[in-house]
Amino acid sequence: MSDTSRRTNGVPLPARIDDGRSLRTVLPPAVVPVQRGRGRTIGVLVADGEGTRWQRTVDVEGLARLGIVAAAAVGVATAVRRPSARVDRLSMGPGGWVSFRGFPVPKAERRRPWWAVLLRAHRVT
């Protein structure tokens, strides 16, 4: 710890600036935190040579809470939306064949696109 900070309790001293024409004293900016509720800092007031201005601070705890709530909502929505496994329709027959009784009939194939007819293209699979 320097000797200057011990004498001023960490508060910077005013600076003297010589710009060649005059000698002027510049005070360091004063920062005043503004709190809401249980000591949550929502911003600071900065008073310097240009005047007083408001600067917001980022609420990191609020962003963390929002992330947790959003993740929980996505998890619940996914769990509610996911259909249950339906294995009651499938059954193994003798010899290893699988019965698909009760499943809807596959849809008929659509017409081939014009470019496939023109190029005489065939499906790979």
- Express each pLDDT in 34-75 by its tens digit: 888 887 888 999 888 778 899 998 888 889 999 999 999 999
pLDDT band of 88, cuts 50, 70, 90: low
For the segment 17-22, the average pLDDT, to the nearest whole number, is: 70
For residues 71 and 90, the model is more confident at 71
Domain that holds residue 52: 24-58
Are 86 and 101 in contact by the 8 Å Cβ rule? The answer is no
Domain-embedded: residue 8: no
For the segment 68-97, the average pLDDT, to the nearest whole number, is: 77
Mean pLDDT check: name the lowest of 57-61, 88-92, 99-103: 88-92
Comparing C-alpha atoms, which of 25, 60, 69 is closest to residue 41? Answer: 60
Domain-embedded: residue 123: no
Number of domains within the chain: 1
How would you class 80 by CB atoms within 10 Å of its CB: exposed for 0-12, middle for 13-18, buried for 19 or more? exposed
For the segment 10-34, the average pLDDT, to the nearest whole number, is: 71
Comparing C-alpha atoms, which of 79, 78, 103 is closest to residue 90? Answer: 103
Domain-embedded: residue 77: no
Domain-embedded: residue 96: no
Domain-embedded: residue 49: yes
